[in-house]
Amino acid sequence: MNKQEIVLQRAIELAKLGAGSVSPNPMVGAVITHQGKIIGEGYHQKYGEAHAEVNAIADVFLKHENAVELLKEATLYVTLEPCAHFGKTPPCSDLIIQHQIPEVVIGCTDPFSKVNGKGIEKLQNAGIKVTTGVLEQECLALNKRFFTRVEKQRPYIILKWAQTLNGYFATKDGPQKWISGKEAKMLVHQWRSEEDCVLVGKRTAEIDNPQLNVRLVEGKNPKRAVIDRDLKLDKKLHLFDNSIETFVFNKALTDVKENVKYISIEDFDFFLPQYLLYQLYLQDIQSVIVEGGIKTLEMFISAGLWDEARILVSPIAWEDGLKAPEINGIQESIIPIGKDKLLTLTPQHP
């Protein structure tokens, strides 16, 4: 790594600290250097609050009495193009210009229409030296959820399930039977804390009565979503306990009852996953974990609407059961999680 990449790698590490707290905004980290030394750093900590660049500049003022002079000779490193528009906060590009920071190094540009190149253009017009594309692929990967939502007008989709060594997903009859070990269960709760929403089908809601929260780890609970075509689910289920905002996708009703939002989907039996995702997009949902059941997972697979599949494979084998979904993709990794293995796939794009 060269010097620019080393500093920007630190900015990426800072950005990740905002995971689970900044959606639907992107995660962004910023580092400010003076004569090769870091004098301030910051990241976007919470949606609607100060951006990374603002926090990094504030950090310089907090740590250095001569901050005004230092900034006039500094370089600002940021993982994503500084914004150029008024949103929840003022434009970061204006703040950079105001403090006369002479050089800015950017990981990747922002595809959001109100930014996309405008932040860079504003900086350059003010005489600031701008370098782009440093650790670009890493910075793009950092905000793959944000970019998916902006470019495809749908949330980033993670398919998740557990299966036995010989490919069974669930029992054919009878009660729920755990497949994964305790380490895998905790990891799933950690995943939930990092995403905006968890989606299940009607049968999973009936049989498992899931809470879909993060009770095994510290972090925020995701919003919940369930597909209930004819609104037949028992209101005594955990999904209707009003503890978390919950979307109920159905054929007939659009209404809000306490913390439950009923959303009617037109042409319910056709193009259902596309309609579901667009409705979640309209609700500012940036990422969704689809946790089952089999029909719901297969619906997204057959429609080609997924960005990542996380499959927990147990070392145990069953004599019988319901077969796990079949999915084709590029194997990104396979790692041990306790006694289980986590297989991660991404789609094969033509």
Q: According to the model, what pLDDT value does residue 239 have?
A: 97
- Alpha carbon distance 271, 301 (integer Å): 13
Q: According to the model, what pLDDT value does residue 90 have?
A: 76
DSSP, residue by residue, 47-90: TTS--HHHHHHHHHHHH-TTHHHHHTT-EEEEEEPPP-S-SSS-
Alpha helices in 99-200 (DSSP H): 118-125, 136-142, 144-152, 182-194
Q: Which residues are annotated as a binding site for substrate?
A: 192, 212, 215, 291
Position 116 pLDDT exceeds 90: no
For the chain, percent of residues with pLDDT exceeding 70:
97
Mean pLDDT value across residues 13-35: 95
Residues 6+ apart with CB under 8 A from 2: none
- Tokens representing 150 are 């902006």
Read off the pLDDT band of 86 (50, 70, 90). Answer: low
Q: According to the model, what pLDDT value does residue 291 have?
A: 96
- Alpha carbon distance 205, 250 (integer Å): 14
Higher pLDDT pick, 27 / 1: 27
Q: Which residues are annotated as a binding site for Zn(2+)?
A: 51, 83, 92
Per-residue pLDDT reduced to its tens digit, 297-312: 999 999 999 999 999 9
CB 348 within 8 A of CB 330: yes
Q: According to the model, what pLDDT value does residue 171 have?
A: 86
Q: Do β-strands 246-250 and 197-200 pair in parallel, antiparallel, or remain unpaired?
A: unpaired
By C-alpha distance, which of 298, 338, 300 is closest to 316? 338
Mean pLDDT value across residues 137-166: 96
Q: Catalytic: 53?
A: yes
From the candidates 5, 41, 53, 258, give the one annotated as an active-site residue.
Answer: 53
Q: Please state which of the ranges 79-88, 95-104, 213-222, 286-295 shows the lowest mean pLDDT.
A: 79-88
Under DSSP, the state recorded for 310 is: E
The whole model's pTM is what? 0.91
Q: According to the model, what pLDDT value does residue 89 have?
A: 66
Residue with tokens 């650790």: 135
Position 172 pLDDT exceeds 90: no
Q: According to the model, what pLDDT value does residue 244 have?
A: 96
Q: Which residues are annotated as a binding site for NADP(+)?
A: 162, 178, 204, 208
Which SS3 state, helix, strand or coil, does residue 261 take?
A: strand
By C-alpha distance, which of 57, 49, 115, 56 is closest to 82? 115
Domains of the chain, each with CATH number or no CATH: 3-148 (3.40.140.10), 155-347 (3.40.430.10)
Position 197 pLDDT exceeds 80: yes
